[in-house]
Structure 1
């Protein structure tokens, strides 16, 4: 069944046009019809392909007018992702009678309870906070018809299955459960199948056009040289807006101090930050006050910031799924982007394995005179200057002795 935006409610088609979109992306074209048929589904699609609207649009289309209880619940693994989904939902519900609300850990509980008094039809939140509201009997789930697990592999892998089960069990038996992620490994599929009813599996491959818009480069150096290479890399493009990933949050603050010492403005994004700190960091990065955002995988999962030009793997992740999610922060929704991996000789083989499996078109480069190049100019290519000629010696006249 083919679907176009013109078949949706007028407030949705109008918001779609205002956002500057034209046709559905591949994942939207495949997922929306199944969502509208109210079937359970797992969707695997690369980062930046429009997965959020692939589930939001059909949910909004099926909302019942006049309803004062929640009709759909969207579960996100991180506070940032939940807030991002909420912002996108607000844009599309702006000219309708419907509303959404976000419920995240770390936020003031009393304020969040006040949100429920406004009767939002769409609930977006992190697992623990949603369960907390259900246990307090403040979040009414008896009219919820759709549950979305966004970044499903992280939700399942992070030990949130008990919370997810509690949320699902609090809804009607004929509810729809859908899962979206850039990567859904077999272990996640096994867990999801236990919580779904004969789910359809949709996989959207990265198109050739999308692959061509994201350039994958790598630099080989010693571990002690990585920070200096990061600094030099940032100087190659004055307008660079980059996210650099490291594996251990323990080193983030020390790394930020080194960047500050080298006069590079860098923000930190890691899970131990307070909600206010995280929001302030992301805001400054969006406004261009930070050229660089230093982040861990958990903190930046699902993060969608416009115009990120570069993703830098300062540490190579252990799993290929992490590499895909990190790299997906650039080149979103058809934009161009560059992914640079700064690896040690020992890490190079692991990166090349990722390249073989993902068919990235990886290119080895080096930094020479402030530019990325695949070949360092040889000595012979440098402009030769002739050696200065020695002046002829003056003859000294000797007096004869009388």
Structure 2
């Protein structure tokens, strides 16, 4: 509630807007990080994707900004355009009413417009390393008044080789600045860099034993590489997700899969790392509003994407390192929502599944597609064992039924066929012989015998007595 936000040090006006947005109480990472950041200390935060990291640093940043000073006071760096724009939207949503001016500085957007935006003296900037470095070299970005620098998805920026640009930006900031690293994973090399760049950082890890949300279900399906498209198609039919991401290790198959999925009737699109900003933004907007159901992408392109209602993540193969799996799986199950992650694994790579489970401390259940459903293989085996008893041929089941005595059954027990046969016979014996004589009569009798061959023994005896009485 509002009181709980204010107990962390969040000012009442911001706490009120959080309540209006439906955020009645802080998430664990927010409760741990906000007080420390408000003190001005360097922090290194690890928390799983979708846990609320963005507001954990944005709220302290917005609160510490002095809106009467016309200078850039806080800078947030993100590895991708999409993540940067998501941060911009959140900053404008909560900071705009507080009088905070926000400027995006991302690659793929117009540099001249960004320069014009910087002339309006924003208080907070959100950008990607490459564009920030470019603006610094052009002497259009002034960071002398910046007192807070945040690196969101810090490990990915270092993995993408942005260390040089990062250090150039940090060198342009005053020495007494506050530095914060936020990420779902903090590999040893990232932690070592934090030690070098930070001053006695406070390490925050709200759930060290849990690297992924507990609301996510993890499954693995055996599928040879050449059969992965058909397996993925059957999976989509079985689970019928409203939205799904399919992860590829390389981009060379994405266009082919996109075309095939569209041919099969799926609303599919692609998200490439080198696509222009407008195309990428339109693809994500179409996925969010339901015009697309499936987006094919890579790890880099999907880093930090926030699609709250995403139901399914499909990974083609098992990632070779746990961090990549965390970031793929973390696209779903955000902020406590349920989600499903299915890895399509070549049988030769199956041992990787066990290694991943041990490293992450999660359970990845083996599943298979059977009867249009994603099931546990043991269920199919049990079904196969029980089927012969439950599904015997009709003739065999008839043999197993007890037979009623003929006297007890009567004409009703003999059934409609016997009754019809009796009626045909009575009509035949009461009919006068034709002029054709005995030859025709004997033929008629043989025909009746043939037709009535299957009648009950008691009925045949009755017919015989009737035939004898008419002679």
When the two structures are superposed, what TM-score results if normalisation uses the length of structure 2? 0.79
Q: 1:73 & 1:385 partners in 2: Cα distance?
A: 74
Larger relative CO (CA 8 A, sep 6+): 1 or 2?
A: 1
Q: What per-residue deviation string (whole Å, max 9, x for no partner) do you get for residues 98-123 of structure 1?
A: 12111111111111112112221111
Structure-to-structure mapping, 1:32-51, within 5 angstroms: 32-51=34-53
Q: What per-residue deviation string (whole Å, max 9, x for no partner) do you get for residues 49-97 of structure 1?
A: 1111110011111111301111011111111111111111111113121
Moved more, 54-63 or 233-242: 233-242
Structure-to-structure mapping, 1:228-239, within 5 angstroms: 228-239=230-241
Q: 2:61 & 2:211 partners in 1: Cα distance?
A: 29
Residue aligned with 1:105, SS: coil
> Aligned-pair distance for 1:9?
2.5
Q: 1:240 & 1:224 partners in 2: Cα distance?
A: 26
Per the alignment, residue 190 of structure 1 pairs with: 192
Q: What per-residue deviation string (whole Å, max 9, x for no partner) do you get for residues 106-151 of structure 1?
A: 1111111121122211110001111121222222211100101111
Work out whether 1:5 is the aligned partner of 2:13. no
Q: 1:249 & 1:289 partners in 2: Cα distance?
A: 23
Per the alignment, residue 80 of structure 2 pairs with: 78
In structure 2, do the counterparts of structure 1 residues 209 and 163 end up closer, same or farther at CA, with 3 Å as the change threshold? Answer: closer
Residue aligned with 1:172, SS: coil
Per the alignment, residue 406 of structure 2 pairs with: none
Residue aligned with 1:119, SS: coil
Tell me if structure 2 keeps the 8 A contact 1:156–1:191.
no
Per the alignment, residue 262 of structure 1 pairs with: 264
Per the alignment, residue 161 of structure 1 pairs with: 163
> Aligned-pair distance for 1:274?
1.2
Q: Which runs of 5+ in 2 are unaligned?
A: 399-416, 418-446, 452-471
In structure 2, do the counterparts of structure 1 residues 352 and 205 end up closer, same or farther at CA, with 3 Å as the change threshold? Answer: same
Tell me if structure 2 keeps the 8 A contact 1:211–1:360.
no
> Aligned-pair distance for 1:172?
0.9
Tell me if structure 2 keeps the 8 A contact 1:46–1:204.
no
> Aligned-pair distance for 1:197?
1.3
Q: 2:214 & 2:161 partners in 1: Cα distance?
A: 36
Residue aligned with 1:38, SS: coil
Per the alignment, residue 364 of structure 1 pairs with: 366
Q: 1:279 & 1:34 partners in 2: Cα distance?
A: 34
Per the alignment, residue 226 of structure 1 pairs with: 228
Q: 1:136 & 1:98 partners in 2: Cα distance?
A: 25
Structure-to-structure mapping, 1:267-306, within 5 angstroms: 267-306=269-308
Q: What per-residue deviation string (whole Å, max 9, x for no partner) do you get for residues 261-319 of structure 1?
A: 21111110111211111111111111111111111000000110120011111232221
Residue aligned with 2:253, SS: helix
Tell me if structure 1 keeps the 8 A contact 2:133–2:169.
yes
Residue aligned with 2:15, SS: helix
Per the alignment, residue 148 of structure 1 pairs with: 150
Structure-to-structure mapping, 1:115-130, within 5 angstroms: 115-130=117-132
Q: 1:177 & 1:107 partners in 2: Cα distance?
A: 26
Per the alignment, residue 386 of structure 1 pairs with: 394
Q: 1:173 & 1:252 partners in 2: Cα distance?
A: 45
| Aligned counterpart for 2:17 among listed residues 2, 15, 18 | 15
Q: 2:115 & 2:12 partners in 1: Cα distance?
A: 31
In structure 2, do the counterparts of structure 1 residues 321 and 91 end up closer, same or farther at CA, with 3 Å as the change threshold? Answer: same
Q: How many residues align?
A: 394
Q: 2:13 & 2:116 partners in 1: Cα distance?
A: 27
Residue aligned with 1:194, SS: helix
Per the alignment, residue 111 of structure 1 pairs with: 113
Tell me if structure 2 keeps the 8 A contact 1:15–1:91.
no
Residue aligned with 2:340, SS: strand
RMSD: 2.3
In structure 2, do the counterparts of structure 1 residues 249 and 338 end up closer, same or farther at CA, with 3 Å as the change threshold? Answer: same
> Aligned-pair distance for 1:11?
3.3
Residue aligned with 1:271, SS: coil
> Aligned-pair distance for 1:171?
1.1
Tell me if structure 2 keeps the 8 A contact 1:242–1:312.
yes
When the two structures are superposed, what TM-score results if normalisation uses the length of structure 1? 0.93
Q: Which runs of 5+ in 1 are unaligned?
A: 398-402
Q: 1:55 & 1:159 partners in 2: Cα distance?
A: 24
Q: 1:279 & 1:224 partners in 2: Cα distance?
A: 32
In structure 2, do the counterparts of structure 1 residues 140 and 4 end up closer, same or farther at CA, with 3 Å as the change threshold? Answer: farther
In structure 2, do the counterparts of structure 1 residues 396 and 51 end up closer, same or farther at CA, with 3 Å as the change threshold? Answer: closer
Per the alignment, residue 355 of structure 1 pairs with: 357
Tell me if structure 2 keeps the 8 A contact 1:76–1:82.
yes
Give the structure with the larger helix fraction.
2
Q: 1:311 & 1:239 partners in 2: Cα distance?
A: 10
> Aligned-pair distance for 1:36?
1.0
Tell me if structure 2 keeps the 8 A contact 1:86–1:100.
yes
